[in-house]
Amino acid sequence: MNSYVYLILAILGEVGATSALKASHGFSKPWPSLACVLGYGISFYFLSLTLKTLPIGIAYAIWAGVGIVLTAAIGYVVFGQKLDVAAMLGIALIVAGVLTIQLFSGAGSH
């Protein structure tokens, strides 16, 4: 399977786990707590497969950057968290950084 497919699965696992972590209320709710642990396990498993072919710096930058953006979006939509102008600017810079790595850096090619 393509390393970018593994990376997407790792990102989705991390975002789901982080969202479940919020919903677990400090691990006091069992189902979100279980989802959190499973999600992080899935995330790290697929990230480890990604790292077989992609450089760690590139894979981690994409994993973290996309994870931040998706988690912020879920926080806004699901948990009603507000994003001010500074937060949106910061998220835009993260997106710009991930796009710069993908479009212009040769470091990510394998």
Residue 104 confidence (pLDDT): 86
Per-residue pLDDT band for 95 (boundaries 50, 70, 90) equals very high
Distances (CA, A) of 86 to 23, 61, 64, 68, 82: 25, 21, 19, 15, 11
The predicted-structure confidence for 24-52, as pLDDT tens digits, reads as follows 999 999 999 999 999 999 999 999 999 99
Q: Does residue 37 come out as left (phi exceeding 0), alpha (psi in the -120 to 50 range) or beta?
A: alpha
- For residue 47, the enclosing domain spans 3-108
What is the rounded average pLDDT of the residues 94-106?
Answer: 87
Residue 110 confidence (pLDDT): 55
Cβ burial, residue 86 (10 Å; 0-12/13-18/19+): exposed
Length of the chain: 110
Q: Domain total for the chain?
A: 1
Residue 108, pLDDT above cutoff 60: no
Residue 94, pLDDT above cutoff 90: yes
